[in-house]
Amino acid sequence: MTNRPIYLDNHSTTALDPAVLDAMLPFLRESYGNAASVNHAFGWEAKDAVDRARESVAQALNAEPREIVFTSGATESINLAIKGAAETLRDRGRHIVTCATEHRAVLDVCRRLERDGFGVSYLPVESDGTLSPDRVGEGIRDDTILVSIMHANNETGVVHNIAAIGGLCAARGVLFHTDATQSVGKLPVDAKSMGAALLSCSAHKFHGPKGVGVLRVSRRDPRVKVAAQIDGGGHERGMRSGTLDVPGIVGMARALEIAVARMESDGARMRALRDELRARLLEAGDVVENGAREPRLPHSLNLAFRRVDSVALINDVPGIAVSTGSACSSANPEPSHVIMALGAGPFGSPEERARCSVRFALSRFTTAEEIDRAAGLVRASVEKLRTFSSVGE
């Protein structure tokens, strides 16, 4: 048994699959050429590897290889999608629709655009974290140029009806972007049937390497052009300049191949372990599940423990690696905007609910023994902290 904590923070990042590392190593050791160097064998090897990876990723997302733009991760992909589309379409309109529970990578970009003269509508969600496609339709105006709605939430795991939203946007002639960072590799993601002309994801969420991501940019129905946000060489069809991370791109493609092949079996296994963890923790009493149970990512669980401060709980159980919310907002002491958007529920306020909430996320490497141990440790800590809370009261 290892002394390392039980890792249940897989919304934040995932462990690199050993098979992915094996695929990457040759491009770190021997075939270390630049994919843009076309005058010698090292460059040819790198370019061939990138081309194969591009085809593999495109197939997994039901996109065309030339629609795949490699980036440094989902945050860059989101920035390129939203800022790039806004710059290209600003003469047609300056209104964007998004959701209050989006990742900060989307919300912060939208706030930047607001400072640049764009208008943004932040749609509220229902008390279970779901977003009605009808609400999206109501938010679209004559000057709306872009709708950006995530596929699955990074804190609650709630899955939105992206196909319906994408179809609605297509019917209204509005460009649609989805942040599929949490769903790619966990759920079937078909960019075309979802109507996602722009789709972002990141390799390290499905057991690939950190520092590499993708933006799918539709080439037809509709044909989309996004303005580059990084200049300097015109790589990636002029949309993203910079030397390509060949080992990372190879690793991303391999990780996605594995994730797609194992999606059904891994999903069923993680769902069963997640449900066991949920049942064990709900037995503690006064525990509220944040977000709809279905549709939800198979590995995701978010619980609010009444009369327990989540930070105190996490600090009291160092043997488990979990979080209170998005890793990208972990330096921010404010309560989760995602949980607050669900309302107060049985708590005194949305802020109180958020401060009592803990996010759990499993992976294909999570074991039944780890879930059993984690459930016991969390239950014991909740009981202890509530006793202290009662004494304080």
Q: Give me the residue spans of the domains in the chain.
A: 6-14+263-388, 18-257
Beta bridge mates, 7:
321
- The secondary structure of 257-288 as a DSSP string is HHHHHHHHHHHHHHHHHHHHHHHHHHTTSSEE
| 3-class DSSP state of 98 | strand
Residues known to be catalytic: 328
| 3-class DSSP state of 367 | coil
pLDDT at 328: 53
| 3-class DSSP state of 87 | helix
Token pair in block for residue 159:
């899955």
Q: Which of 315, 343, 309, 339 is nearest to 326 (CA)?
A: 339
Q: What is the largest CA-CA distance in the chain?
A: 74
Cα gap 169→182, rounded to integer Å: 22
Give pTM, 2 decimals.
Answer: 0.95
Percent over 70 (pLDDT), the chain: 96
- pLDDT lower than 70: segments of the chain: 1-2, 326-333, 389-393
* Helix 246-282 vs helix 41-61: crossing angle, to nearest 10: 30
pLDDT at 332: 54
Q: Which of 294, 311, 299, 391 is nearest to 357 (CA)?
A: 311
| 3-class DSSP state of 59 | helix
pLDDT at 388: 81
For domain 6-14+263-388, give the CATH superfamily: Aspartate Aminotransferase, domain 1 (3.90.1150.10)
| Number of residues in the chain | 393
Q: What is the per-residue pLDDT across 48-85, written as a single tens digit (0 to 9) for each?
A: 999 999 999 999 999 999 999 999 999 999 999 999 99
Residue that the structure tokens 């669980």 belong to: 301
Q: Which of 76, 3, 19, 10 is nearest to 253 (CA)?
A: 19
**What dotted CATH number matches 18-257?**
3.40.640.10
Q: How many CB atoms lie within 10 A of CB 198?
A: 27
pLDDT at 3: 80
Contacts of 220 (CB under 8 A, 6+ apart): none
